[in-house]
A and B are shown apart, each in its own frame.
Chain A
Amino acid sequence: MTAITSSAASPRDYSLTGRDAKLAVENGLAAAEWYHTEIQRKQMKALMQRSDQPAIRDTVIWLGALILSGAGGAWFWGSWWCVPFFFVYGTLYGSSTDSRWHECGHGTAFRTQWMNDAVYQLACFMIMRNPVTWRWSHTRHHTDTIIVGRDPEIAVMRPPDLLRVVLNFFGILDAWHAMTDMARNAAGVVSAAEKTFIPEQEQPKAIRVARIWLAIYIATIALALYLHSWLPLMLVGLPRLYGAWHHVMTGLLQHGGLADNVIDHRLNSRTVLMNPISRFIYWNMNYHVEHHMFPMVPYHALPKLHDMIKHDLPAPTPSILAGYREMIPAFLRQLRNEDYFIKRELPPTARPYREELHNDIPMAAAAE
């Protein structure tokens, strides 16, 4: 690992309609051709093959555990025994839906498209991400990953807002923004930023979904008032807060502290080895360099892809804890110098980073 200070213009303008958005287009960083490891067509075709079986198995386990833990929480409501049940329910509701939304949005989880669509809609509701808006924002995230002014899904902007990061472990700001966005969309308003990545013909769909969701939340609140109980909200809505911790914990590792404004996912994404429970919740998105390089590969084939291309990638971060030991000092450093980032070292077997593609970052010269 090498720590780098870049000479990029500061402060960064993350607005999708601002200065850096225009600069990214002028500098050829928007919709650029990204580096990818060479894989033979036959091997890639085998990796890309879709199958319903793994995702059906995982979805049955996921929904089964969700129903049982939710029922347990409701049954023991009013006693401390409900806490472990709601811990499991909240994590499945407020965290595992992040990866379900994501994989089904790519259309890779199941071979059968209606199954992808059904889980996508359900997971989007739980994670409070408008299925239309986020489908298109994620498309942009893959086109322009961590390109300032272009990527609408940069979780930690520079300099890092660490209070926001901590609050989001409890879903507080994300849920607030999700609710205000839902109310705005339900009122028929699509923001200027949303208009930069949602095609005009898709915008009415975002409004329709927001209105349906608003009706569901109003009904849930009405039921809670009628019953004089928080229980309906503990089952619908609030799990997005008390269960968000796992998806924030894993999500920050995806790109946190790494380079921005580069077109090589080995520089701006992180693969982290994790325990099997986190990998189930996260649906293997810990193989994040691999996912960004080859988004057509389903989650269940990512370990195989990792084995196939690891000779060309930085060594994976060995654990979640190791990831935070690397990332937190980088965030703290970026408070004083927002151009600071971590450059992952490549193994001798890898094709080197193409310095000419990242010529605004003096990667070799500025090592500290």
Chain B
Amino acid sequence: MSDWVEACAAGDIDEEDVMRFDHAGRSFAIYRSPDDEYFATEGLCTHEKVHLADGLVMDDIIECPKHNGRFNYKTGAARGAPACVNLKTYPVKVDAGKVLIQVG
């Protein structure tokens, strides 16, 4: 269960923004909050499998670029239609300027 994977450099993501990370055939979304904390969720919207990394981060919300479905990216909770199913979240840590996520 210690399958930490290096996703990107901490500075690759702007504050209050999101970045796509693909690994082993799976897609993830990595977020940098306005408080300079990092989070990760599955990369595709649970509504219609659109990449969330093309969406908009506002405070602790990620909004899907296709239908504006909303999720709390810190908890994965669906927060607005048409998003009804929660996102999976993944542990994240920053080590020596690198963002690592536990993809297991």
A interface residues, Cβ below 8 angstroms from B? 31, 44-45, 48-50, 106-108, 111, 113, 135-136, 139, 142-143, 199, 201-202, 294-296
Contacts and interface: CB of A to CB of B under 8 A. Distances in A.
Nearest to B58: A50
Given A107-B68, A295-B67, 10 more contacts: A45-B17, A50-B58, A108-B68, A136-B81, A136-B82, A142-B67, A143-B67, A202-B81, A294-B65, A296-B63
Contact of B66 (A50, A107, A143, A201): A143
Contact of A135 (B17, B47, B58, B81): B81
Contacts of B54: 44
Given A31-B48, A45-B17, A296-B63, A106 B68 contact: yes
Interface of B: 14, 17, 47-49, 54-56, 58, 63, 65-68, 70, 80-82, 84
A38 to B, nearest CB: 12
Contacts of B66: 142-143, 295
Nearest to B80: A107
21 contacts: A31-B49, A45-B14, A50-B56, A106-B68, A107-B68, A107-B70, A108-B68, A111-B58, A135-B82, A136-B82, A139-B67, A139-B81, A139-B82, A143-B67, A202-B81, A295-B65, A295-B66, A295-B67, A295-B68, A296-B55, A296-B68
Nearest to B56: A48
Contact of A143 (B17, B48, B63, B80): B48
Contacts of B67: 139, 142-143, 295
A59 B49 CA distance: 34
B17 to A, nearest CB: 7
Nearest to A47: B56
A143 B65 CA distance: 12
Given A50-B58, A136-B82, A107 B48 contact: no
A106 B47 CA distance: 15
Tell me the dominant secondary structure on chain B's binding face.
Answer: loop
A45 B67 CA distance: 16
B21 to A, nearest CB: 14
Contacts of A199: 84
A113 B80 contact: yes
B63 A107 contact: yes
Contact of A296 (B48, B65, B80, B82): B65
A135 B84 CA distance: 13
B12 to A, nearest CB: 11
Contact of A45 (B48, B56, B68): B56
B54 to A, nearest CB: 8
Contacts of A48: 56
Contacts of B58: 50, 111
Contact of B84 (A107, A143, A201): A201
Nearest to B59: A111
B38 to A, nearest CB: 18
A250 to B, nearest CB: 22
A296 B64 CA distance: 8
A114 to B, nearest CB: 12
B52 to A, nearest CB: 12
A294 to B, nearest CB: 8
A107 B58 CA distance: 12
Nearest to B70: A107
A23 to B, nearest CB: 20
Closest 5 CB pairs between A and B? A48-B56, A139-B82, A107-B68, A139-B67, A296-B65
Contacts of A295: 65-68
A28 B67 CA distance: 19
Contacts of A135: 81-82
Nearest to A132: B81
Contacts of B63: 107, 296
Contacts of A49: 56
A199 B67 CA distance: 15
A108 B66 CA distance: 12
B85 to A, nearest CB: 10
Contacts of A201: 84
